[in-house]
């Protein structure tokens, strides 16, 4: 055994000393993360074409769960599995697990594109295949950061992780544009587009990537895996169903099953912590949280993701449902143009991420990550103060500021987290960091939708009733439409449908005076009707986002000064040698 580990260390050192190897690692892992994040959002903008393709109306009664699980299933699975797969990378090799993720992702991208089923069967096929595709994405996310940390020296990790992390975040916005272009041609293309990239990336990773990190000789912690997976799945599923109507309520938070899922999930996660403290070979070394830089960085990441996770959904609904139709765009064209009009956000990420990551290698993560969150909070306050029918140059500048701020935060924060993790724990540490972020993204979507619906609920009903009756819609129909859950209106806008045409239906519209039908299905009626109520929802959502960013700035500041696990280990080794005491495995930055 000692001879085997000695041989592995010699091989790792040989590859690490190759001048171009670290850039090969950066290129391949960035390609993998870009592919996985593009696929998370490309389906988001392509949902109308997907559901048209499988001949299922996602807004019909009883079909909302299919819509939500096609939308969020990938994110839920990715959030749950990354810690487990990070631990497997520590045990069996991070490059091996990463490459397996590339292959699984590619295989299920093909499976998603070949279904010829329709209706509920087609939706169930897509949901299951998206879940398995999420398994591949989780393997990629869990191990890419650890592979990069192994390949790059401490004084270059900020740059490397910054490029990788920012390209990943940028992928979520590039997916909107790609989906808007490809989905009208064929919805199958949004999944097939990943296949050549996946095939090339899988072969390239298999031939080029090598495990440089320290492997952990350990057994799989089955009890911890089950408690963690079941607990997190239960919480995230509860959140997903919490934003659906229940009984006579506009939301599902009064649903006993939702409450039971969330409370039961939290109990299981508490049990997971107890298990990890007791077992000899835990899935997660909870003592990592004794490292201040690790704990503060992950707390800041969670709060930041809470603030920005639902942002894309709200901005897309704002553009597609209100702003773009009022400015002459047809509803069918709004998905593509929503992605285009969000480009300043992407530019901000791309500019600030690598630069702030490189500077954090020299000056530490704290000043850049903290300042980034404070600027992000200011940008959310600016968005909150905009009128619903805004001037685009101002809106674009606020998006650019938000992108710059998030890029300024994300790269140094990720580098600070990874630098704080001892070499033998990097896979699980990277997975934990991804779990904090991905879980908070799902939670953020639930929070944003909830706040938006609370804002809409008290203002939309009367506006809908009076607007419809003024256009000769029978009072009984107007009352029924105005009593629909606000989430149906939000989803109609989000899907790029003509909301009134979809809600009223062709038979009722044909029975109205032609002038009234034209007004109701025109580009001005629905945006003008919903704008005041939508403005109240925006105020609630952006206020929450600003507060979350301020809290993230505080957590980021608490990380302390510049710190790496390698420097601490060297100091402790010297100290132990001088005083004749055994070396301490983990420490806390001062």
CA 465: distance to chain centroid? 37
Nearest CA to 34 among 201, 171, 195?
171
Predicted confidence at residue 375, as pLDDT, reads: 95
246 by Cβ neighbours in 10 Å (0-12 / 13-18 / 19+) ranks as middle
In tens digits, what is the pLDDT along the chain, a chain of 590 residues?
A: 444 434 444 444 444 556 688 888 888 988 888 888 887 778 777 777 888 888 887 767 677 778 778 877 787 788 778 777 877 777 788 888 888 988 999 999 999 888 888 888 988 999 999 989 988 888 888 888 788 888 888 777 777 877 777 777 778 778 878 887 888 888 888 888 888 888 998 899 888 888 776 666 666 777 877 887 788 788 878 877 777 777 767 677 788 888 898 899 889 888 888 888 887 777 677 778 888 888 899 899 989 988 887 787 788 888 887 899 888 888 777 877 888 898 898 888 888 888 888 888 888 888 999 999 999 999 999 999 999 899 999 999 999 999 999 889 988 888 888 888 887 777 777 777 777 787 787 788 778 877 777 777 767 778 888 888 888 888 888 888 777 777 766 676 666 667 787 778 788 888 888 898 888 888 888 888 888 878 888 888 899 999 999 999 999 998 876 656 555 544 444 344 444 544 433 433 43
pTM: 0.77
| Secondary structure of 354-382 as H, E, C letters | HHHHHHHHHHCCHHHHHHHHHHHHHHHHH
How many residues comprise the chain? Answer: 590
Query: What are the Cα distances from residue 11, in Å, to 7, 86, 144, 170?
Result: 6, 22, 20, 34
The CATH homologous superfamily for domain 290-590 is MFS general substrate transporter like domains (1.20.1250.20)
CB 505 within 8 A of CB 549: no
Predicted confidence at residue 313, as pLDDT, reads: 77
CB 188 within 8 A of CB 437: no
CB 106 within 8 A of CB 135: no
Predicted confidence at residue 401, as pLDDT, reads: 95
- Where in the chain are the domains? 1-216, 221-282, 290-590
Nearest CA to 394 among 382, 412, 376?
382
Predicted confidence at residue 303, as pLDDT, reads: 92
What 3-state DSSP class applies to 118?
A: coil
Nearest CA to 369 among 296, 445, 432?
296
How many Å from the N-terminal Cα to the C-terminal Cα in the chain? 37
CB 238 within 8 A of CB 256: no
The residues with which 246 forms a beta bridge, in sequence order, are 249
The residues with which 249 forms a beta bridge, in sequence order, are 246
H or E element, residue 227: helix 222-242
Predicted confidence at residue 73, as pLDDT, reads: 79
Q: What's the CATH architecture for 1-216?
A: Up-down Bundle (1.20)
CA 63 – CA 429 distance, rounded (Å) = 38
Helices within 183-309 (DSSP H only): 189-192, 194-208, 222-242, 256-278, 292-308
CA 165 – CA 412 distance, rounded (Å) = 10
Longest dimension (CA), the chain: 93
What 3-state DSSP class applies to 381?
A: helix
Predicted confidence at residue 372, as pLDDT, reads: 94
Predicted confidence at residue 18, as pLDDT, reads: 62
Structure tokens at 390: 């805004």
Same fold, 1-216 and 290-590: yes
What 3-state DSSP class applies to 190?
A: helix
């Amino acid at each position: 055994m000692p001879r085997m580990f000695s041989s592995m260390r010699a091989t790792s050192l040989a590859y690490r000393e190759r001048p171009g190897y670290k850039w090969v690692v950066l290129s391949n892992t960035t390609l993998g993360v870009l592919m996985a994040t593009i696929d998370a959002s490309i389906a988001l903008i392509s949902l109308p074409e997907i559901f048209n393709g499988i001949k299922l109306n996602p807004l019909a009664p009883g079909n909302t769960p299919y819509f939500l699980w096609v939308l969020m299933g990938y994110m839920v699975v990715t959030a749950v599995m990354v810690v487990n797969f990070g631990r497997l990378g520590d045990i069996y090799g991070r490059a091996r697990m990463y490459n397996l993720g590339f292959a699984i992702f590619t295989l299920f991208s093909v499976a998603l594109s070949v279904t010829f089923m329709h209706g509920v069967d087609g939706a169930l096929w897509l949901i299951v295949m998206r879940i398995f595709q999420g398994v591949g994405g989780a393997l990629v996310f869990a191990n890419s950061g650890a592979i990069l940390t192994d390949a790059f020296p401490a004084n270059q990790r900020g740059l490397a992780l910054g490029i990788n992390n920012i390209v990943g975040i940028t992928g979520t916005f590039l997916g909107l544009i790609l989906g808007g272009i490809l989905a009208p041609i064929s919805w199958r293309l949004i999944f097939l587009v990943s296949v050549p990239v996946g095939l090339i990336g899988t072969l390239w990773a298999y031939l080029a990537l090598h495990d440089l990190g320290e492997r952990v000789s350990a057994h799989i912690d089955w009890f911890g895996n089950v408690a963690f997976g079941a607990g997190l799945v239960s919480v995230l599923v509860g959140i997903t169903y919490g934003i659906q109507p229940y009984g006579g309520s506009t939301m599902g938070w009064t649903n006993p099953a939702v409450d039971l899922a969330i409370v039961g999930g939290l109990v299981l996660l508490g049990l997971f912590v107890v298990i990890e403290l007791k077992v000899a070979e835990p899935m997660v070394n909870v003592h990592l949280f004794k490292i201040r830089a690790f704990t503060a960085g992950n707390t800041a990441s969670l709060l930041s993701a809470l603030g920005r996770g639902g942002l894309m959904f709200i901005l897309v609904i704002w553009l597609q449902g209100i702003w773009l139709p009022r400015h002459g765009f047809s509803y069918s064209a709004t998905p593509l143009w929503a992605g285009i009009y969000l480009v300043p956000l992407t530019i901000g990420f791309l500019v600030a991420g690598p630069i702030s990551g490189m500077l954090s290698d020299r000056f530490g993560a704290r000043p850049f990550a903290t300042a980034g969150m404070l600027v992000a909070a200011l940008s959310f306050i600016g968005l909150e103060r905009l009128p619903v029918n805004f001037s685009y140059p101002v809106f674009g500048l606020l998006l650019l500021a938000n992108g710059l701020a998030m890029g300024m935060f994300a790269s140094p924060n990720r580098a600070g987290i990874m630098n704080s993790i001892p070499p033998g724990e990097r896979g699980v540490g990277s997975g934990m960091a991804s779990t904090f972020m991905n879980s908070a993204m799902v939670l953020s979507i639930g929070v944003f939708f909830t706040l938006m619906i609370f804002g809409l609920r008290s203002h939309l009903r009367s506006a809908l009733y009076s607007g419809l009756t003024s256009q000769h819609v029978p009072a009984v129909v107007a009352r029924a439409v105005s009593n629909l859950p606000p989430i149906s209106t939000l989803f109609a806008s989000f899907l790029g449908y003509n909301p009134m045409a979809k809600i009223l239906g062709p038979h009722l519209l044909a029975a109205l005076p032609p002038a009234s039908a034209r007004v109701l299905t025109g580009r001005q009626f629905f945006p003008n009707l919903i704008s005041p109520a939508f403005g109240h929802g925006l105020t609630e959502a952006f206020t929450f986002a600003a507060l979350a960013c301020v809290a993230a700035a505080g957590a980021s500041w608490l990380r302390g000064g510049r710190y790496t696990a390698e420097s601490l280990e060297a100091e402790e080794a010297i100290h132990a040698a001088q005083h004749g005491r055994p070396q301490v495995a983990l420490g806390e930055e001062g």
